[in-house]
Amino acid sequence: MPEGRSKAQQREETRRALIAEGRRRFAAAGYAAVGTVEVSAGAGVTKGALYHHFGSKLGLFRAVVEQVQHEVGERVAAAAEAESDPFEQLAAGCRAFLAAARDPEVQQVMLLDGPAVLGWNEWRRMDEESSARHLSESLADLVEQGAIAPRPVEPLARLLSGAMNEGALWLARSEQPERDLAAAWEVLRGLLESLRADR
């Protein structure tokens, strides 16, 4: 073991290397076309290390999806934080989520393979943990501030989340993503505007 690196650090480095290599391959070729031997070889570790850390190719893929979802959540948060008006924060975050569907890695890993490989219920659970909860919190704050008209937050959050997920899935398959993103955002912005308390 090189001096200064503990076993825990080595384990974490191996895990990161496997996730990075798995992500690269899953994004480029799709889940079904990727094998554990090529991932472990590309990461410079044994296939046994992959199984030790993730249990299976599916376990590795789940970790990759979690990473991609987390990064999309960070993009959404950054876009929202760039705005000072609370309603515009919501709008900017929603647009950033739709825009993420143009990213090839997000398309293949999170939107196309994610629901198909993990199953809809598991994919939704992960989405809930990474972003849907923040949407609910944002909507609750806007209702409390009087920026949007009082209404039940839970069904509103789920309906908006469903609309955005469907929009993102549609954009992931689009042959004209810029045009379709503009069209999807025009419709979504109209839906969000309809929630304003001062309408």
Cβ atoms 132, 161 nearer than 8 A: yes
**What torsion, rounded to 10 degrees, do the Cα atoms 32, 33, 39, 40 define?**
80
Q: What is the pLDDT of residue 6?
A: 86
Q: What is the pLDDT of residue 1?
A: 41
Q: What is the pLDDT of residue 8?
A: 86
Q: What is the pLDDT of residue 194?
A: 95
Q: Is the pTM of this model over 0.75?
A: yes
Q: What is the pLDDT of residue 197?
A: 87
Task: Report residue 1 CA to chain centroid gap.
Answer: 36
Report all structural domains of the chain as residue ranges with CATH numbers, in order of start: 1-55 (1.10.10), 62-194 (1.10.357.10)
Sign of CA dihedral 20, 178, 73, 107: negative
For 30-63, letters b (16+ CB in 10 Å) and e give ebeebebeebbebbebeeebbeebbeebeebbbb
- Walking along the chain (199 residues) 10 residues at a time, the average pLDDT comes out as 72 96 98 97 96 97 96 93 95 95 92 94 87 87 93 93 91 92 96 89
Q: What is the pLDDT of residue 148?
A: 94
Q: What is the pLDDT of residue 196?
A: 92
Q: What is the pLDDT of residue 178?
A: 92
